[in-house]
Amino acid sequence: MKLIIRPEKGLGKIEVELDEGLEREILELAKRYGVPPERVIEVALTQEFKEAKENVDELVKKARELEKRVWELETEYAPLRYKAYGISEDNKILAIELSGLIAENNQLRRFLRLPLNRNPELRKLISYYLQG
């Protein structure tokens, strides 16, 4: 890999040939952090990199423990979420049936020339269960 460093102003430039090991390491760092290789070289030359304030191995260990705890909670709550989904679907079916019965009741009231029952609270409840 050939590294060419050009100044922001002026005509001078520096050309450096990097060996394969260093090139491989630069490309690996660029891939790991998702930045272009030029940025890795720039950070290395300007010493913008930061030292870790805490022990990285300790943080990785904590992250693994937290991930393990998350999976434990996931296995604990998965059946509850499944049951809640089933109940939600049952509520939708019941809301559809109730809506049909209300419409049928209103048709019978019209036939018998009785005043219609307009219950907005019940309609809101039905629409809530049909949306959810």
Digit-coded pLDDT (tens) for 32-54: 889 888 888 877 777 766 666 67
C-alpha 31/C-alpha 53 separation (Å) is: 24
Q: Please answer whether residues 130 and 95 qualify as being in contact, where contact means their C-beta atoms are separated by less than 8 angstroms.
A: yes
Query: Does residue 126 register a pLDDT over 70?
Result: yes
C-alpha 84/C-alpha 79 separation (Å) is: 9
Q: What is the pTM of this model?
A: 0.48
Provide φ and ψ at 17, rounded to 5°. -95, 120
Higher local confidence (pLDDT), 3 or 129? 129
C-alpha 44/C-alpha 40 separation (Å) is: 6
pLDDT for 48: 67
pLDDT digits (tens, 9 = 90+) for 62-85: 999 999 999 999 999 999 999 999
pLDDT over 90, % of the chain? 48
pLDDT over 70, % of the chain? 95
